[in-house]
Amino acid sequence: MKYEFTDDYLTGIDSIDAEHRRLFDLTNECYELVMEDAAEDKYDKIVELLNELRAYAATHFANEEAYMEKINYDKRFSERYQHLRFIQKLDSLALDDIDENQQEELLKILDFLARWLTGHIKNMDCRIPKA
Ligand SMILES: [Fe+2]
């Protein structure tokens, strides 16, 4: 089952919600890749997805952090730290390992992303006040 962007994930800040929706879409692309035939070579698709995810997350985090800075949100440093950890995690993925063990590594990535959607968006971002 795909990951659904339900109202539970809404921050009420339209621009941030639109970007979170895109993060859900990218997580679902990862899900679809997991579901594709495990006998197929998925390496190029995995790398492409990871690059897109890294670039999109960096843009989104910058936008979200600028908003938190603007409203002087007191938890903005915890947010920034978690964002940093997310990017570090993506950067730490070893492409050789992914190539050799595609399905297992892909599941790990999906698990990480799915946890992030709940753990970060729902538990952290949803507390960011609307200006
Ligand atoms: Fe955030």
pLDDT at 111 over 80: yes
In a domain, 111, yes or no: yes
Q: Would residue 13 count as lying in a domain?
A: no
Show the domain range for 121: 61-131
Residues ≥6 apart with Cβ < 8 Å to 123:
none
For the chain, what is the domain count?
A: 1
**29-82 pLDDT, tens per residue?**
999 999 999 899 999 999 999 999 999 999 999 999 999 999 999 999 999 999
Cα–Cα distance, 119 to 76 (Å, whole number): 16
122: CA distance to ligand 1 center in Å?
Answer: 9
Look at residue 1 in the predicted model and tell me its pLDDT: 75
Going from the Cα of 40 to the center of ligand 1, the distance in angstroms, rounded, reads 35
C-alpha of residue 97 to centroid of ligand 1, in Å: 29
